[in-house]
Amino acid sequence: MRFKSIFSNSFGILISRVSGLLRDIMMTSALGASIWSDVFLMAFKFPNLFRRIFAEGSFTQSFMPSYVASKQKGVFAVAIFLRFMFIIVAFSLLVTMFPEAFSKALAWDWSDELIAKMAPLTVINFWYLDLIFIVTFLGTLLQHKEHFFTTAFSTVWLNIVMIATLWWYAKSDPATIVYALSFSILVGGVLQIITHLYAIRKKGLSKVLIGGWKYRKTKDTAEEESKFRKLFIPSVIGNSTAQIASFIDTSLASFLVAGSVSYLFYANRVFQLPFAIIALAITTALFPAISKAIKNENETLAFSNLSKAFWLLSLLLGISVLGGVLLAEPIVWLLFERGAFDIQDTINTADVLKMYMVGLVPFGLAKLFSLYLYAMHKHIKAAKIAVASLVINLIFSVILMQFMGAAGLALAGSIGGVVQMVLTIREVGFDKFLDIINSKRTLYFIIAMAILGIILYFLNQYLIHLIR
């Protein structure tokens, strides 16, 4: 297992996520959990939905196996880039022309007045998708070279620009702040591209892209592009379900009390910290290695990497779950309770965080085992599993929000994660899963988690006494 790649990826993500938390802390202080924070977060969520569906997960998981197998890597890469860029720019122009319609599609229960406030922000924020696709494309090429730090770290530039904007406009009215933040997102996207172009040049990939452009009309990659397209559509379905669920949860939250959208966002930001630093870092670092092993018909090596990653992932995510559930209120209090964000906002956000954290291990393991499916080109199987988990998620979302509010939406997502994990492991093979857990490590793991849980429970009681 490539610990160096995992460490560099985790370290880059850690810096990025910590700076992101600092950004969110400043945002909560400036906007709190208010109508303006809901409007901005809703507008920013729109490009993020498509970014995560098309630009990141789907693209990388489809492009990587095809790129590894390609005989004309430069020509293939340029051809795919041009096609995607054309579609994304066209879509961005469509959103620019009809912002109210797209905003209403996201927040259908909002009044015309709120939609009018959100629409201009939707236009500004959506162009970030174009910038981040370029970042994702370049980052995937760097992943093939097993260079992960640049992509993991690059979001820091976005956060720095947003933090500077929040500091500069701290005393302005909320409307001015959200507009300034929206434009700062575009500046951050440009800086991310510049960072990746520098890394591409340092890794010697400039020649690949220049050659791909130069010979794009003379080299035939039609067969490779056809294979990529066949993989991409199922990959879109597989990766879009989690984002669609989040999209729908945000929309459903607009039916709840004011601030619910913000509670989901801030709790999810905390949830995403261990998920990104641990689960995404490990799986992203392993994907090129597993893809190459599968291509070389070395399934033993691929499974060996999977097994080692399982225990590392389970240990780190298990610790995170116990900390996130048992220390939810102190964590939210420490990070967000200041300025316009009061004690009731802390309690509500902590309740949502607990429900998100329940699904951390299932989501992490589902992500790990799905790597095996994508590397084996079983994108359709992964898509079917993701759709099944989405359906379960949506059913429970509608039911649980009636009784638990925003926390019910988070719990429904975790239930969907459990379903996805079980179905993914079944497809990979329960026999392989049993081979992994059939050892003394399982008993040691359970004992360690039990001891840690007791310690954190009493620590939480002490901290709650202090902050209240």
SS (H, E, C) 451-465: HHHHHHHHHHHHHHH
Name the pTM for this structure. 0.71
* Selection from 216, 332, 199 nearest residue 264 by Cα: 332
Burial of 22 (0-12, 13-18, 19+ CB in 10 A): middle
User: How would you class 311 by CB atoms within 10 Å of its CB: exposed for 0-12, middle for 13-18, buried for 19 or more?
Assistant: middle
Largest CA distance in the chain: 72
DSSP codes of every residue in 147-182: --HHHHHHHHHHHHHHHHHHHHTTTS-HHHHHHHHH
pLDDT at 57: 61
Query: Higher model confidence: residue 112 or residue 138?
Result: 138
Per-residue pLDDT of 300-355, as tens digits, reads: 777 777 777 888 888 999 999 999 899 988 888 888 877 667 788 888 899 999 99
Tokens of 257: 């009390």
The pLDDT of residue 215 is 67
Helix (H, G, I), strand (E, B) or coil at 125: helix
CB atoms within 10 A of CB 213: 16
**What would the pLDDT profile of 425-436 be if each residue is shown by its tens digit?**
998 888 878 888
Residue 53 binned pLDDT confidence (cut-offs 50, 70, 90): low
| Residue/partner pairs of 79-85 with CB below 8 Å, 24 or more apart | 79/212, 79/216, 79/221, 79/225, 80/225, 80/228, 81/137, 84/54, 84/59, 84/133, 84/137, 85/130, 85/133, 85/134
Cα angle value 209/213/219 (rounded, 5°): 110
